[in-house]
Amino acid sequence: MSKRSGNLLIIDDNASVLNSLELFLKHHFEKIIALKTPNLIVSTLEKEPVDVILLDMNFTAGVNIGNEGLYWLGRILELDPQAVVVMITAYGDIDLAVKAIREGAFDFITKPWDNNRLLTTLQAALQLRLSKKEVTKLQLKEKQLREDLGRGYSTIVGDSAPMKQLLSKISKVAKTDASVLLVGENGTGKELVAREIHRLSLRHDKSFVNVDVGALTETLFESELFGHKKGAFTDAKEDRIGRFEAADEGTLFIDEIGNLGLSLQPKLLSAIEQRRITPLGSNCPVEVDIRLITATNKDLHEMVKNNIFREDLYYRINTVQIEIPPLRERGNDITKLAEYYLHYYARKYERCTLKFNNKTLEKLNNHAWPGNVRELRHAVEKAVILAESDELMPEDFHFTLSSDSIPLKNLSLKEAEKTLIINAMKNHRGNISEAARELGIGRQTLYRKIGKYGIL
């Protein structure tokens, strides 16, 4: 610890005691808050970040039984179960101090105190507080890691020209701390690309933390990203750090940022600009150091024009934009990915003798893959599970008629895109929202493409 670090709260009704403590300890703590009455403890803890609390045991004149100190110790620990409290007691009340330790105090000092003993105790208390905060962070990061491992993230597979260009951009931007916006259709692997950027970055040995903001309500948004204090809302039964704090010194990946409502965008912008967040139910800001990566399948530029996405937020997250190609543009990568997932799921489901029939691979390569790599992965997994022989046949893969019948290999990119749009519009009887959802693009993007190709 540095010579001056941590915030200290002192509560004692004796003004001379407060002055003496503050005069001595101001050289050793970053900030000291002094209170003459314990009635201000709750409001102070709600708005001030406090690391160590020095609490007197008696506040009423002529009363020396210590009940007041024990009561306020309990209140403090209710507010913050990780609080580190050092009690101040008279020499003859050591039994009371021991009782306070049993009820959750870290240690005690006696009046009159020895300065060296006082400083050693408070420094040990500060070290414990910092350790508790670090353990909480590590526990959340461990939970996140377990969840991520359960999702079975794969590596980037493919050597088509579009993928070589993508990997080149990734290698260039990874070594910087620039904010990256990943754009592309649903299922193209935006989170996989974000993880690759993190893996190649200077923060690779720190945490990668992801959050999908698309479906979060306002309360859940603040709780997920900024954390909350116990009692901040009905289900807040304990303190919780948010994704920003969990990603401190590492990478924060915010997915589906195009679905973030206008009312929430200023809160995110403020956190990104200031690199500071305030947990829900607290007035105490927390400094964070993150590398930010965001992703969307929407046309944010169009959303800015239509006043449904803030321009300042758009430019803040878009230092570098990387577009991830749809699977239909990746040529022979379809075969490589199909083989990769066949090998993965064949081992997982103990069907290691499975292989593709040549006509099956031809069918996979001719499919439009509106759901991109995600659709291919799920299709292969389903086929592996349900296959009745050791050879995966064309009939083991069931696609919608319109998508399955598009001969992509015989069309140019523009013709294939136009055909996909026409079929999606037919599938949904002209419903723009549903067609856009099937294609994995935003409504505004679809409107623009319909005008471009003259589709009525």
Q: How far apart are CA 74 and CA 360, in angstroms?
A: 68
Provide DSSP, 388-420: SSSEE-GGG----HHHHT--GGGS-HHHHHHHH
Mean pLDDT of 213-220: 79
CATH class for domain 7-131? alpha beta
pLDDT at 201: 96
Range list of H helices, 152-264: 161-174, 190-199, 218-226, 243-246
Using a 10 angstrom Cβ sphere, with 0-12 exposed, 13-18 middle and 19 or more buried, the burial of residue 124 is middle
| 453: pLDDT strictly greater than 90 | no
d(CA 345, CA 341): 6
User: Mean pLDDT throughout 47-71?
Assistant: 80
Amino acid occupying residue 252:
L
Q: What is the pLDDT of residue 280?
A: 86
- Residue 38 CB contacts under 8 Å (≥ 6 apart), including other chains: 11, 55, 59, 68, 72
Q: Give the residue-averaged pLDDT of 320-342.
A: 95
**Angle at the Cα of 376 from the Cα atoms of 373 and 335, rounded to 5 degrees:** 90
In the block, tokens 């679905």 appear at: 259
CA atoms within 13 A on the CB side of 300: 28
What pLDDT, on the 0 to 100 scale, is given for residue 148? 54
The 3-state DSSP class for residue 277 equals strand
* Annotated domain spans of the chain: 7-131, 160-323, 330-400, 411-453
Structure confidence at residue 435 (pLDDT): 82
Name residue 302's amino acid. E
Span 36-44, average pLDDT: 92
Q: What is the CATH number of domain 330-400?
A: 1.10.8.60
- Stretch among 8-22, 194-208, 442-456 having the lowest mean pLDDT: 442-456
Q: Which two tokens stand for residue 190?
A: 């935006």
Tens digit of pLDDT for each residue in 96-110?
888 899 999 999 998
- What's the chain's average pLDDT? 86
Q: What is the CATH number of domain 160-323?
A: 3.40.50.300
Helix (H) or strand (E) holding 88: strand 85-90
Query: Has residue 155 got a pLDDT over 70?
Result: yes
Query: pTM of the prediction?
Result: 0.66
pLDDT for residue 405 = 42
Please indicate whether the domains covering 160-323 and 411-453 agree at the CATH topology level: no
Please name the residue that has the structure tokens 């050591």: 94
* pLDDT grade for 452, boundaries at 50, 70 and 90: confident
Whether residue 396 contacts residue 361, with contact meaning beta carbons closer than 8 Å, is answered with no
pLDDT at 332: 93
Fold (CATH) for 411-453: Arc Repressor Mutant, subunit A (1.10.10)
Report which of residues 155 and 383 the model is more confident about.
383
- Secondary structure of the chain: what % helix, strand, coil (to 5)? 50, 15, 35
pLDDT tens digits, 229-284? 777 787 777 778 889 998 999 999 999 999 999 999 999 999 999 999 998 888 77
Stretch among 75-84, 313-322, 337-346 having the lowest mean pLDDT: 75-84
- What percentage of the chain carries pLDDT values higher than 90? 56
Q: Count helices and strands (H / E) in the chain.
A: 19, 16
How far is 221 from 209, CA to CA, in rounded Å? Answer: 15
